[in-house]
Amino acid sequence: MGILIDAIQKELTQALETDEEKMISHLVHDQPQEVEIEELKSRLNTRKKIELKNYQEEFSKQQKIDVTIKNLLDEIGEAEDDLKLEGGDLMSAIRNTRPFRYIAFNPANAAGNEVTGTATGGVESFVAAERNSVHLFDIHSGELMHIWVGDDSSVVGEKKGHVVSGTLPMPVRLDN
Whether 127 and 73 map to the same domain: the answer is no
What is the predicted pLDDT for the residue at 98?
61
Each residue's pLDDT, cut to its tens digit, for the chain (176 residues) gives: 689 899 999 999 999 999 999 999 988 877 889 999 999 999 999 999 999 999 999 999 999 999 999 999 999 998 888 777 766 776 666 656 666 667 777 777 777 777 777 777 778 888 888 777 888 888 888 888 888 887 766 666 666 665 544 433 344 444 44
Q: Which of 81, 108, 129 is the last residue of a domain?
A: 81
The answer to whether the pTM exceeds 0.95 is: no
Residue 176 lies in a domain: no
What is the predicted pLDDT for the residue at 107?
79
| Residue 138 · residue 126 · CB < 8 Å | no
**What dihedral angle (degrees, nearest 10) is formed by the CA atoms of 36, 39, 40, 43?**
-160
Cα–Cα dist 139/90, whole Å = 8
Cα–Cα dist 89/155, whole Å = 36
Whether 69 and 126 map to the same domain: the answer is no
What is the predicted pLDDT for the residue at 166?
43
Residue 94 lies in a domain: no
Whether 77 and 126 map to the same domain: the answer is no
What is the predicted pLDDT for the residue at 23?
92
Q: Which of 81, 115, 147 is the last residue of a domain?
A: 81
What is the predicted pLDDT for the residue at 174?
42
What is the predicted pLDDT for the residue at 153?
65
Whether 160 and 123 map to the same domain: the answer is yes
Q: Which of 81, 116, 150 is the last residue of a domain?
A: 81
What is the predicted pLDDT for the residue at 94?
60
| Residue 37 · residue 17 · CB < 8 Å | no
If you count them, how many residues does the chain have?
176
Domain of residue 131, residue span: 100-164
